[in-house]
Amino acid sequence: MASAIELTLRTLLGSPNPRATELLLIALQSEEPALRLGAVRVLALREDVAGHRKLVEAFSQLPADAQAALRELPETTPLAEALPSLIRPEAPKLARRGSEVAAALGLTEALPAIVTVALACPDDLSGALAADALLLAVRLEERVRHYDPAVHAGEGPRPQDPAFARRAAVNALVTALDRFGEHGEHDLLQALLLLTPGDEPALLRALRTDTHPAHDALQTALQTSSCPGAISILAALLADLRSPQALLEIVAERYDRAGLTALLTLVGYPVGLRVRENCQRLGFFSWLEPDRVAVLADLSGPAQATAIQLASASQASRSALASAILTVLASEHAVARLAACRAISVLPTRLAEEPLWRALQAADPAVVATAVRMVRKKDYPNATTVLVAMLESPDAPVRDAAGKTLQELSFTAYRDSLHDLPPEVRGDVGRLVGKADPLAVASLRSELGAAAVSRRLKALELIGLMDLANVLVDSLTETLVADKDLGVRVECAQLLGSVTPTTEVIDALVEAVGSRASALRRAAQECLEKLTGQSLETLMEVR
């Protein structure tokens, strides 16, 4: 039985006889599923416009399995190709049936024809056609988004690029846009926003022209729509220095998670110059408000970074920005944390303290280093102490940032201004300089080798004040043994009394004890007894 049905259907598929269509239409009423489903497939696959018309007219009465069988057919059937020709303004009822079939089967090539008829039909049909057009726009947008020509390379005929169908649909929907005052169908606007690129001239013209019939409806749609076209338009407006203030404020009002995520992703990070210039015209972003700022925590890292950069470029409340910065500093995304830290630079001093404190405690060296560079500019409490502590950081970028920020604490400046400082602070400042200036130790070594005795003596004074005797113990030992000036050697012996004792240090001091100069002998003896805890006599007996 099954083979006989299949043979009959194959014969009818290739038959040019008009009676074949009549037989297939009768078969559609059969209680035998194989015959019924086969008949509906053959009707769709035959090169027979009259049969297609009959199938369209009967579609709503077809059993569910027959409708499902049509949905399973390829998109490029003869029925799909013929359908646009059946959707014509002069036959509104047939056009409505054809629109219903196109929407049910996802036949996006029929979209331009449906839009054309919707513009010409009475109101009672226009709404239904517009709804079908929106359904097909959704389907077409999915096709465009998922189309990958490489997937079908070398596997027979490649599916047609849906970008061609989208362009045809956009052309028809642009006409509907310009005639919005005649039909008022918001579904057609939504369909256009789904499919259009953000730089579509007709859309931008309608938005910028107060008297355009779709102007107000478009503005309303942009406030809530998450369609790709709507989001790309918002991004385009943000990048266009000619954008009216009212349109920029629509961008700033978006705080819904889906729309905001798409918008920030499209704007991208880092934010472009023109976008930042436009942000200077904005006094708010809705997502900065206290009850909405938490939405930032759910965004991707780049989107968080973009949001913070937009806000910092705007005239929005700095208090609200500080709250947003604190939120994003806790992000798990490095790019977002770094952007938040950089944004602290635009905060006034009174608002910068808490975000700076949070950034300085971060585990991310890049964030800490960025914060370190701002502590002086933002009058952070105990800035110098903080910076000196950062010189001990295990992370090179942090140490480097702290060193560069502490450039005024240089060895040269300290040496030259030493006697201008009050005596009670010279040691504190010296210890800071010793930590802050990476060249301090090398400079002191150089000074110990200077030809002028006065320079060598001052170098010893500085070593003591900067608490660097242990660091320079080798140079001090050599100076004690080899320097030709008695005063230098005496000062050197006294400094060695504060170092961690080593064999070389003890030997050098023992040698100095044998000097003919009494001042050097006394200094060396005192240092030896201090370092060893033994009297000179006991020490000499042991040696």
Residue of higher predicted confidence among 62 and 272: 272
Whole-number Å distance between alpha carbons of 249 and 284: 8
Residue type (1 letter), 308: I
Mean per-residue pLDDT for 105-130?
A: 90
Residue 382: both structure tokens together: 């105990």
Give yes or no for residue 89 having a pLDDT over 80.
yes
Question: What is residue 40's predicted lDDT score, i.e. its pLDDT?
Answer: 83
Question: What is residue 151's predicted lDDT score, i.e. its pLDDT?
Answer: 64
Mean per-residue pLDDT for 376-401?
A: 87
Residue of higher predicted confidence among 340 and 68: 340
The total of other beta-carbon atoms located within 10 Å of residue 332's CB is: 9
Mean per-residue pLDDT for 253-266?
A: 92
The 3-state DSSP class for residue 97 equals helix
Residue of higher predicted confidence among 30 and 220: 220
Question: What is residue 155's predicted lDDT score, i.e. its pLDDT?
Answer: 56
pLDDT confidence band for 312 (50 / 70 / 90): very high
Question: What is residue 541's predicted lDDT score, i.e. its pLDDT?
Answer: 59
Tokens 């992703």 appear where? 265
Give yes or no for residue 309 having a pLDDT over 70.
yes
Residue of higher predicted confidence among 356 and 528: 356
Backbone angles phi, psi at 536, to 5 degrees: -60, -40
Of all helices (H) and strands (E), which one includes residue 141? helix 123-146
Question: What is residue 543's predicted lDDT score, i.e. its pLDDT?
Answer: 55
Residues in the chain: 543
The b-or-e profile of 76-97 (16+ CB within 10 A means b, else e) is ebbbbbbbbebbeeeebebbbb
How far is C-alpha 75 from the chain's CA centre?
39
Question: What is residue 84's predicted lDDT score, i.e. its pLDDT?
Answer: 92
Residue 185 CB burial class (10 angstroms; 0-12, 13-18, ≥19): buried
Question: What is residue 515's predicted lDDT score, i.e. its pLDDT?
Answer: 86
Quote the percentage of the chain above a pLDDT of 70.
94
CA dist 106 to 8, 158, 435, Å? 29, 19, 73
DSSP state string for 411-470:
HHHHHHTGGGS-HHHHHHHHHHHHHH-TTHHHHHHHHHT-SSHHHHHHHHHHHHHHT-TT
Question: What is residue 147's predicted lDDT score, i.e. its pLDDT?
Answer: 81
Question: What is residue 1's predicted lDDT score, i.e. its pLDDT?
Answer: 45
Tokens 């701002």 appear where? 374
Domains and CATH numbers, the chain: 407-467 (no CATH), 470-542 (1.25.10.10)
CB 480 within 8 A of CB 512: yes
Mean of the per-residue pLDDT values for the chain? 88
In 3D, which of 263, 239, 176, 247 has the Cα closest to residue 209? 247
Whole-number Å distance between alpha carbons of 447 and 302: 52
Whole-number Å distance between alpha carbons of 486 and 50: 122
Give yes or no for residue 26 having a pLDDT over 90.
no
Mean per-residue pLDDT for 86-112?
A: 92
pLDDT confidence band for 512 (50 / 70 / 90): confident
Mean per-residue pLDDT for 446-472?
A: 93
Question: What is residue 97's predicted lDDT score, i.e. its pLDDT?
Answer: 93
The b-or-e profile of 141-159 (16+ CB within 10 A means b, else e) is bebbeeeeeeeeeeeeeee
- 3-state secondary structure string across 245-295: HHHHHHHHHCCCHHHHHHHHHHHCCCCCHHHHHHHCCCCCCHHHCCCCHHH
- Whether the full predicted model's pTM is greater than 0.85, yes or no, is no
Of all helices (H) and strands (E), which one includes residue 196? none
Query: What does DSSP assign to residue 484?
Result: S
30-66 per-position pLDDT tens digit: 788 888 888 888 888 888 888 889 888 888 888 888 8
462-485 per-position pLDDT tens digit: 999 999 999 999 999 999 899 999
Question: What is residue 542's predicted lDDT score, i.e. its pLDDT?
Answer: 56
Mean per-residue pLDDT for 153-161?
A: 63
Non-local CB neighbours of 228 within 8 Å, separated by 6+ positions:
141, 193, 194, 262
Residue 248: both structure tokens together: 């920029």
